[in-house]
Amino acid sequence: MFSRLAHRLYSTAAAAPPTVLEYRVPYFVHRTKPGLQLPVYPRYTFKGTQCATFVRRIEGNGKVLADQIRAEFPDWTVAYNTTTNQIKIKGYVVPQLRQFLTERGF
């Protein structure tokens, strides 16, 4: 009896479904399996003196996403790798990029 009451008191509500995009885009950014995080990663080189930010797990036409990032942030150096379907951005821009993807419903 008490366990049922405690379960009802301490249970959390289900997460809201992701928002539907207003328009259909030709790409999709999959979230990671364990924590459902966005696949935006920093990578440091040359003993930690240089940093690049990578967007991985892009399905579809990632070049459109790279073009949208360039349009939104014109001062960033954005490169799209067609072989690995990843986007590389020069510098540490992980928080801004995660917010950019979250605003678009990913």
- Written as one string, the DSSP assignment of 37-75 is ---EEEEEETTTTEEEEEE--EEE-HHHHHHHHHHH-TT
Top pLDDT among 24 and 88 is at 88
Partner residues linked to 59 by β-bridges? 28
The mean pLDDT of 86-95, rounded to a whole number, is: 97
The pTM (predicted TM-score) of the whole model is 0.75
Query: Which pairing describes strands 78-81 and 40-45: parallel, antiparallel, or unpaired?
Result: unpaired
The CATH superfamily holding the domain 2-103 is: SUI1-like domain (3.30.780.10)
Sorting pLDDT into bands at 50, 70 and 90, what band is 5? very low
Give the pair of three-digit tokens for residue 83. Answer: 């072989």
What's the pLDDT at 41?
96
Give the start-to-end residue ranges of the domains of the chain: 2-103
